[in-house]
Structure 1
Amino acid sequence: MKAMIFAAGLGTRLRPFTDNKPKALVEVAGKTLLQRAIEKVSGAGFEEIVVNIHHYGDQIIDFLEGNNNFGLDIQISDERDELLDTGGGILKARPLLEGSEPFLVYNVDVLCSLDLKKLLRWHREHQALATLVVRKRETARYLLFDKEMQLSGWTNIKTGEVKMARQTPEVGKFAFSGIHIIEPSVFPLITETGKFPIIPMYLHLAAQNAIYGFEDTSDLWMDLGKLEQLKVAEEMLQNR
């Protein structure tokens, strides 16, 4: 099975660590974020991995080659000419991701205890076009889901902005966790081109397609793209 690890971000929230290296190669408890992400997805059976690169992308290529790709089939989606955001990044990697099975998308700065095999089973059972992992946590921007956990809209609680994809009588607010499972059949449905974020794409697809949320209630989820979280994770992992 295939997975894509988003490793092209600028990592501005991790400065000064990212002044001379990509976010993916920042270390926490002796391992880079990229190695931890690779171990997480490959441990769930996703052994064909696409890694997108931009900021200091040559260092990621050298790191993977120096580690013999961790014994996996790892390919590079090169965005060094232009950072394409989440939706554009997936679209560029289309030739590497297409096939007969759903593929996983995983942010390099996520540290979690989610059972990815359970997520994949849930996605298949619900015959979803895409399944977004979400959690009940505080954030400024929420995804809105109906009682069946189908994506219905999005809101920014700071600005009051609301975008609805489907009108439903009741909605629940969840925060996106940077992990999703997508069917390759999504590619012909994408109308966006170039650089674009994926959440607006999901919203327009949700009007006529099964875009689901999977609530992650596992005990660990952290965004290691923030300095304060990186320090907490360092202490936690060292004490394990």
Structure 2
Amino acid sequence: MRHALIFAAGLGERMRPLTDHTPKPLLPVGGKPLIVWHLERLAAAGVHYVVVNTSHLAEQFPHTLGDGSRWGLRIRYAYEGTTPLETGGGMLNALPLLGSAPFIAVNGDIWCDVDFTTLPVEPTGLAHLLLVDNPAQHPHGDFSLDAQGIVHDEGDVRLTFSGIGVYRYELLRNWRAVIGNAAGTEAQPPRFRLVPLLRTAMANGAISGSHQDGKWTDVGTPQRLAQLEAELRG
């Protein structure tokens, strides 16, 4: 049984004032909350168990989504406290609920038409990242994908990380050695970003990837939300 993690703990500061009273993943677009698009696609791909990271206005998630049964899912909530733990800390905090098998992780503030069945069940390395063409607001991209499907931190042709990937828990096993004593790591639970761990693994050729050429939107501002709404309403 495949498991999935949805990052939904962010403060949504760039989306204010819409996020003053509603968490960004619960903002409606195309007639339903943004996060529901993910839940439906995950369920369609055979995922039955989803962990949702929460922080900002956390109580709204179980109130809106319940236990997930309406989508044939079982939803568990991983509360991060009043200060979000960033992607690395959030994933580490959720690991006890996710188990030891590789899991899909999705940013709760994106929209895409990806078919999750195209993602590998077992990454060849520590993680498999889904990359997309660079959007207008991020023209220089994040990483490079070679012909063998290995992701590199540097390269002539760069793509943008979609916020979707498949991860092994081992990626976080030695997080302290990579992150060190950066601000936030002294907290309990610790707060840190995932990207440094990915870059360290990339240096060892341990991150694979694929290029998603479908529709994808980083719903980071009210303007992009309105644009996505117009596209979905067609």
Normalised TM-score (structure 1): 0.82
Residues 202-240 of structure 1: CA deviation (Å, up to 9, x unaligned): 11122335201211112x11112222221122122223x
Maintained 8 Å contact 1:151/1:203 = no
Residue 232 of structure 1 pairs with residue 233 of structure 2: no
C-alpha separation in 2, matches of 1:210 and 1:189: 14
Maintained 8 Å contact 2:67/2:75 = no
SS at match of 2:51: strand
> Which deviates more from structure 2 when the two are superposed, residues 60-69 or residues 80-89?
60-69
Partner of 2:6: 5
C-alpha separation in 2, matches of 1:67 and 1:127: 30
SS at match of 1:93: helix
SS at match of 1:38: helix
Number of residue-to-residue matches in the alignment: 219
Maintained 8 Å contact 1:129/1:186 = yes
> Which deviates more from structure 2 when the two are superposed, residues 207-216 or residues 90-99?
207-216
Partner of 1:150: 150
C-alpha separation in 2, matches of 1:15 and 1:119: 33
Alignment of 1:1-240 (within 5 A): 1-65=2-66, 70-99=71-100, 101-120=101-120, 124=122, 127-138=124-135, 139=138, 140-153=140-153, 171-191=156-176, 192=179, 193=185, 194-218=190-214, 220-239=215-234
C-alpha separation in 2, matches of 1:95 and 1:180: 19
C-alpha separation in 2, matches of 1:117 and 1:26: 26
Question: How many percent identity over aligned positions?
Answer: 32
Maintained 8 Å contact 1:143/1:174 = yes
Maintained 8 Å contact 1:152/1:206 = yes
Residues 120-170 of structure 1: CA deviation (Å, up to 9, x unaligned): 26xx4x62320111112142452134442323215xxxxxxxxxxxxxxx6
> Which deviates more from structure 2 when the two are superposed, residues 57-66 or residues 36-45?
57-66
SS at match of 1:114: coil
C-alpha separation in 1, matches of 2:98 and 2:131: 23
Given residue 127 of structure 1, which amino acid in structure 2 is its aligned partner? T
CA 1:17–1:81: 2 relative to 1, 3 Å? closer
C-alpha separation in 1, matches of 2:145 and 2:67: 43
C-alpha separation in 2, matches of 1:172 and 1:98: 36
C-alpha separation in 2, matches of 1:105 and 1:183: 10
C-alpha separation in 2, matches of 1:91 and 1:202: 14
Maintained 8 Å contact 1:64/1:70 = no
C-alpha separation in 2, matches of 1:198 and 1:181: 13
Maintained 8 Å contact 1:129/1:209 = no
Residues 63-119 of structure 1: CA deviation (Å, up to 9, x unaligned): 1228756442100110124311001100111111123x3200011122112221112
RMSD, aligned CA:
2.1
Maintained 8 Å contact 2:68/2:75 = no
Shift of 1:56: 0.4
SS at match of 1:197: coil
CA 1:70–1:80: 2 relative to 1, 3 Å? farther
Maintained 8 Å contact 1:147/1:172 = no
Residues 39-67 of structure 1: CA deviation (Å, up to 9, x unaligned): 12221111100000011001112112287
